[in-house]
Structure 1
Amino acid sequence: MQLEFHQIDAFTDRPFSGNPAVVYRLDAWLEDELMQRIAAEHNQAETAFTVREGAGWRIRWFTPACEVPLCGHATLATAHALFQLYGEPGERLEFSCMSGALAVSRDGGRLVLDFPAIRLEPAQMAEQVGAILGQRVLAVQVGKELLAVLESEQAVRECKPDMTALAQLPGLGVIVTAPGVQHDFVSRYFAPGIGIDEDPVTGSTHCILAPYWAERLDKTELRAYQCSARGGELHCRLDGARVKIAGQSVLVASGKLYL
């Protein structure tokens, strides 16, 4: 059996930046164990698998270690593949996933993710999390992820967490954020517990970050930058219970997997 795949850098307009994802458009689902092994073989932050179901698409995402409930950059990459490589018509793609209904629309040269807004609960963990991150933490919120607010963009950039200790914290991973210098806010995302020490650019964390900063900055249109080594810019808009996350993407490789 041969399976076609594409590697796409998301949230960037040039190769070797943004966040890479591998995309498989399947005719039918593979066994879960096989999809997990394929994701481990590619060893990217996320490998996305999608199958047409009715008028839309079902999408699933796997890190090298496990399946995750939501992934922004791999959804953006999947939409890029469906629109640009497989010739899907129209201006909007509808997806279903573990986290509910998602959509991706064309907007000029960008694609716009339509994701749920996610709000976390405050937690009294600032001192504990600060010791793990090696930076002073102003506030912590928890839910499916853990959010740590730092004093400045410089503090976010200089953050060097203890990955072993960080993996023991609640949530899938830890989002570190602060007000930006040239952007409304910046962030980084560490998730060693699911096989990702640091994710280059994470769309799904902005479902949390956009509502958080929209409330504090009193604005619904936000420019964000994830300041990992590869880096990536995201344009966010809070729209009620939804977050619109726009970015560009570029194809960097295509190939076949032989099973």
Structure 2
Amino acid sequence: MPQYRIITVDAFTKVAFKGNQAAVVAVPSDSPIDDDTMQAIAAEMNISETAFITPLMLQGPDEFKQSRVFGLRWFTPTCEVKLCGHATLAAAHALKYELGSECEKVYFETASGQLIVYFGLDNSYSMTFPADPPAPMPINDDVKTIVAGILGEYKPSIQVEISPSLRYMVVYDPTKVGEDIVQLEPKLSPEVLAAGKRESIIGVIATAKSSGHDFCSRFFAPWCGINEDPVTGSAHTVLGPFWQEKLGKTSFNAYQCSKRGGEVGLQLECNDDKDVNISGWAVTIVSGTINV
């Protein structure tokens, strides 16, 4: 029975049992795993994302140590996703501290293009992701149903936007502050789920200004098997441009205020690609092998 290295990492945190969990499976270039088995492993792990990394440029016993380019895929317990920030950070952490990477940065080839992660000090990492600026969303009955399910009500003063690439909906009530977002108790009813499917929504971000941080948020994605994701790096490719419009700045200290909670640093890059630099920390929780 084939065995693969598997590492569980808490991302966007300096301490264990905070931030967001991700499992990272190291897949040697000469021992690939098929899609169905990847999905089965992710379902078995039953955490928000499981990442699979494979060296692309080198082969042999030192390929994880010496390669700078890797294939990277992410699976929730129910489906593959296009982009995942915390599992990318976790993959970089696993490479550096568990698989012995000798590089200062790594390149991940993904469904969202090439992502670059720079290794910092003290378990810190900096990731370059494509920005996904949201735009106002036409309001219909389905949108009202989704907003009411997340915030408890719909009213015309609530700002609703949608990101074109990731299909993340942003809901912003200017009367709410960070503590209101912390206390949200979304009702993810069958009606809300059906409305989201009709609108091709992948997840909903509730956000507000926050004392001690530039803004806070929570992320709900029942449409891909995650009722609430604790800390969502990809959501900040949407939140960065959203809050740039409101605050008139390009650098942010953000906080995702789920029960586990996590700190996210953001820097919007002034380049043609409109990249977002996302920074954070990570901690190894479990390192072992999985039988497939």
Task: Identify whether the pair has TM-score above 0.5, normalized to the shorter chain.
Answer: yes
Alignment of 1:65-76 (within 5 A): 65-76=78-89
Q: Which has the greater radius of gyration?
A: 2
Distance across 2 between alignment mates of 1:12 and 1:114: 18
Offset of residue 130 of structure 1: 3.3
What SS does the corresponding residue of 1:13 show, helix, strand or coil?
coil
Distance across 1 between alignment mates of 2:75 and 2:10: 16
Alignment of 1:208-247 (within 5 A): 208-240=238-270, 241-247=274-280
With over 3 angstroms needed to count, the CA separation of the structure-2 counterparts of 1:71 and 1:128, relative to structure 1, is: same
Contact 1:129/1:148 (8 A) holds in 2: no
Offset of residue 154 of structure 1: 2.2
Contact 2:145/2:192 (8 A) holds in 1: no
**What percentage of residue pairs aligned between the two structures are identical?**
40
**Aligned partner of 2:160 among 131, 140, 151:** 140
Give the aligned residue type for 1:130.
Answer: V
Aligned twin of 1:17: 18
What SS does the corresponding residue of 1:246 show, helix, strand or coil?
strand
Question: Is 1:47 the counterpart of 2:50 in the alignment?
Answer: yes
Give the aligned residue type for 1:22.
Answer: A
What SS does the corresponding residue of 1:49 show, helix, strand or coil?
strand
Aligned twin of 1:119: 133
What SS does the corresponding residue of 2:117 show, helix, strand or coil?
strand
Offset of residue 200 of structure 1: 0.5
Question: Is 1:162 the counterpart of 2:192 in the alignment?
Answer: no
Question: Is 1:98 the counterpart of 2:118 in the alignment?
Answer: no
RMSD over aligned Cα atoms? 1.4
**When the two structures are aligned, how many residues end up with a matched partner?**
259
Structure 1 stretches of at least 4 aligned residues deviating more than 3 Å after TM superposition: 124-130
Give the aligned residue type for 1:24.
Answer: V
Worse overlay, 219-228 or 144-153: 144-153
Aligned twin of 1:8: 9
What SS does the corresponding residue of 1:184 show, helix, strand or coil?
strand
Give the aligned residue type for 1:131.
Answer: A
Aligned twin of 2:76: 63
Offset of residue 253 of structure 1: 0.5
Aligned twin of 1:172: 202
**Aligned partner of 1:81 among 94, 106, 111:** 94
Offset of residue 131 of structure 1: 1.8
Offset of residue 61 of structure 1: 0.2
Distance across 1 between alignment mates of 2:69 and 2:119: 16
More strand by share: 1
Distance across 2 between alignment mates of 1:10 and 1:258: 24
Question: Is 1:200 the counterpart of 2:200 in the alignment?
Answer: no
Offset of residue 7 of structure 1: 0.2
Offset of residue 235 of structure 1: 0.7
Worse overlay, 83-92 or 18-27: 83-92
Contact 2:134/2:241 (8 A) holds in 1: no
With over 3 angstroms needed to count, the CA separation of the structure-2 counterparts of 1:182 and 1:166, relative to structure 1, is: farther
Worse overlay, 116-125 or 205-214: 116-125
Q: Provide structure 2 residue ranges, at least 5 long, that are not aligned to the other structure.
A: 58-67
**Aligned partner of 2:178 among 126, 130, 153:** 153
What SS does the corresponding residue of 1:163 show, helix, strand or coil?
coil
Residue deviations 1:182-233, cap 9 Å, x none?
Answer: 1001000000111100000000000000111122101111000000000000
Distance across 2 between alignment mates of 1:195 and 1:229: 18
What SS does the corresponding residue of 2:213 show, helix, strand or coil?
coil
Residue deviations 1:115-146, cap 9 Å, x none?
Answer: 00111220143744432120556201113111
Contact 1:223/1:233 (8 A) holds in 2: yes
Offset of residue 90 of structure 1: 2.4
Offset of residue 53 of structure 1: 1.0
Worse overlay, 143-152 or 78-87: 143-152
Taking structure 2 as the reference length, what is the TM-score of the superposition?
Answer: 0.85
Distance across 2 between alignment mates of 1:258 and 1:69: 26
